[in-house]
Amino acid sequence: MASKTPIIGVTGGIASGKSTVARAFARLGIPWVDADDTAREVVEPGEPALAEIAARYGQRVLQADGRLDRRALREIVFAAPEERRWLESVTHPRIRERLVERLAAFRRGEAPYALLVSPLLFESGQAALVDRRLVIDVPESVQIARTARRDDVDEAQARAIVAAQMPREERLQRADDVIDNAGDEAGLAEQVAALDRRYRALAGLPGSR
Ligand code: ADP
């Protein structure tokens, strides 16, 4: 049966464990693309999006070496919704175009399935690019504690970031599959292995173990 490689969208709130999960699948030989990495790529020096941003805001959004000064740009768009919308109109179509290319390459490739890891899978419309949606779920208290530890922010800051994101229940309602990442990393690896067997079966290929 020659079916094309299924794409699994992986999402979850901040510090839910998306990167950790992606690495666990990668150890099983599964390729992935991260929408955050792609978002950074489209504003690298030489990219048309960076030229458009520099033309609108000038040198103040560039570092001495010509790279985007993200902090300066964030400050400009933070309190100005119309600037944020303009910025998104410049970057989002390019991010999407690049993701579509990467996913098409996965679909042509040899992998049994592949991952699109995206914090904004549902919010950005990227869910339409994938065949299944896998939500990494943790209680908010765990999210807050892991964010505070990883990003060296205090609990109030971590709580505010979590509160600004899509509510846990809404994300879960849109999930085809869920990983419960409230436990330890061994428990996480077991859940990834179980999903790996199911996803390989989806692709019409026998499990490898
Ligand atoms: P995301 O990519 O969703 O923001 P990460 O994969 O970076 O989340 O995980 C957030 C933090 O929590 C990291 O420091 C990671 O090492 C830690 N972490 C992830 N899963 C677990 C787990 N099951 N047990 C303990 N710590 C975890």
Task: State in Å: Cα 182 to ligand 1 middle.
Answer: 10
The three-state DSSP-derived secondary structure of 6-26 is CEEEEECCCCCCHHHHHHHHH
pLDDT, tens only, 153-200: 999 999 999 999 999 999 999 999 999 999 999 999 999 999 999 999
Q: Which atom of ligand 1 is nearest to the CA of 13?
A: 3
* Domain covering 7-43+96-202 in this structure, CATH number: 3.40.50.300
The domain ranges of the chain are 7-43+96-202
Query: pLDDT at position 4, please?
Result: 82
pLDDT, tens only, 5-26: 999 999 999 999 999 999 999 9
Query: pLDDT at position 205, please?
Result: 55
User: pTM to 2 decimals?
Assistant: 0.92
Query: pLDDT at position 202, please?
Result: 86
Kindly write down the DSSP assignment for every residue of 36-69, as one continuous string.
HHHHHHTTSTT-HHHHHHHHHHGGGGB-TTS-B-
Q: What average pLDDT is seen over the chain?
A: 94
**Cα(12)–Cα(18) distance, rounded to whole angstroms?**
7
| Amino acid at site 3 | S
Q: Is 185 in the pocket of ligand 1 (CB under 6 A)?
A: yes
Neighbours of 171 (CB within 10 A): 22
**Cα(83)–Cα(125) distance, rounded to whole angstroms?**
21
Q: Which atom of ligand 1 is nearest to the CA of 188?
A: 23
Alpha carbon 58 to its chain centroid, in Å, reads 29
